[in-house]
A = this chain, B = another copy of it.
Amino acid sequence: MDRFPYPVARVGIIGGGQLGRMLVKAAKRLGCTCVVLDPTPNSPAGQVAGHQIVGHFQDPAKLRELVSVCDVTTYDIEDVDTETLVVLEREGYRIYPEPHVLAEVQDKLRQKERLAAAGVATVEFAPLEHADPAAFAAFGYPLVQKARRGGYDGRGVAVMASPSDYRRHLAVPSYLERFVTADKELAVLVARGRDGDYRTYPVAEMCFRPGENILDLLLAPARIPDATADAARELARRAVDAIGGIGIFGVEMFLTGDGRLLVNEVAPRTHNSGHYTIEACLTNQFEQHLRAILGLPLGATEQLSPAAMINLLGEPDHGGRPVICGLAAALAIPGVSVHFYGKASTRPHRKMGHVTVLDADIEAARRKAEQVREHLRITGEEPL
């Protein structure tokens, strides 16, 4: 019989954003206490953790301070100093996903090479020694140039239709990918426990606004045939198996017009596409991640209701103290759950919160989510 003197664990979280905030809530429910490392005092996660170390996730001394007061440490963000963490891991501290896994996933080219080596279907790609027009032309247009590190929400990605687009190339270490016309973009959460157990979640469908790479609307389950959903979950499981590591992973993939599933990217953390699991699934992604890294049994992933999710982004031309407009109108729609992240200031397109809508009919959920988006706007007290 297991025996946990309270707290069940002291959980360290590198990064105090919204993912950390929702992780803290799940952790406290499970009988854990939390310490957050973030450079911004009173960060979204720090506000609920009650204990924050103010410091940067790249600062070796602060990382050591965090890890040394915790039983297990994990991440809210990917862009951390893995070198220090690898040293701490060797000293015996528990850090999940393991720092060497994180180091490999951080480098998107190495991630792709690893997936390809394991036979996981991905978009065709090629390493790039340095950017020059001949190399791009040799690979062939249309193409996508991607930064090896630090890409997020559309940053670090350049889509090029023809050689005349070369002038927009990224001047950072990068690689090239075939431009894929996807029918749908899908996401599958996969949890991997310390005992090697797996759980996959229902497939979610990500809709992006044309020309933007920030998730605009998410539908779960995806509107795809059951056989395609089963194949997507299996492909995601194989992708995470190829990457290795313990915790939850967000696997993004394309469904092409000819029915192929191609892995786009694996995020080694809780994922924006999985926020719907808080309301809709038996075990939400945050609790699942904790169960995995704490060595507890993984939870059931069944979905209780179709769900739609939208991000609440800061309006363009607004900054400063957030002003929430249209909240009452949004909450008047049945099945709406609003999540604000507690950020003290807004800026254009900043993720300020999200909304999940449950409805027995997925199309009705989608329409309600679109209504919420019409009503609910995050402006700010300072015009920009």
Chain A interface (Cβ < 8 Å from any Cβ of B): 1-6, 8, 25, 28-31, 33, 42, 47-48, 50, 282-283, 287, 291, 295-297, 299-300, 302, 304-305, 321-329, 331-332, 334-340, 342, 344, 353, 358, 381
Contacts and interface: CB of A to CB of B under 8 A. Distances in A.
A296 B328 contact: yes
Contacts of A335: 282, 300
B331 A282 contact: no
Given A30-B338, A31-B353, A358-B282, A8 B324 contact: yes
A31 B338 CA distance: 9
**5 closest Cβ contacts across the A-B interface?**
A31-B340, A300-B334, A297-B332, A6-B322, A304-B304
Given A48-B28, A338-B30, A327 B296 contact: yes
Contact of A324 (B4, B29, B331, B332): B4
A378 to B, nearest CB: 9
Given A28-B48, A324-B8, A334-B282, A1 B329 contact: yes
A5 B381 CA distance: 8
B331 A299 contact: yes
B305 A338 contact: no
- Which of A291, A323, A328 lies at the interface centre, i.e. has the most chain B CB atoms within 10 A of its CB? A328
A21 B315 CA distance: 32
A360 to B, nearest CB: 9
21 contacts: A1-B325, A3-B324, A4-B323, A4-B324, A4-B327, A5-B321, A5-B322, A8-B324, A28-B340, A28-B342, A29-B338, A31-B327, A31-B353, A33-B342, A47-B50, A48-B50, A282-B334, A282-B358, A287-B337, A291-B331, A296-B327
A332 B327 CA distance: 39
A353 B6 CA distance: 12
Contacts of A334: 282, 299-300, 302
Contacts of A323: 3-6
A326 B31 contact: no
Given A25-B25, A304-B358, A324-B8, A329 B2 contact: yes
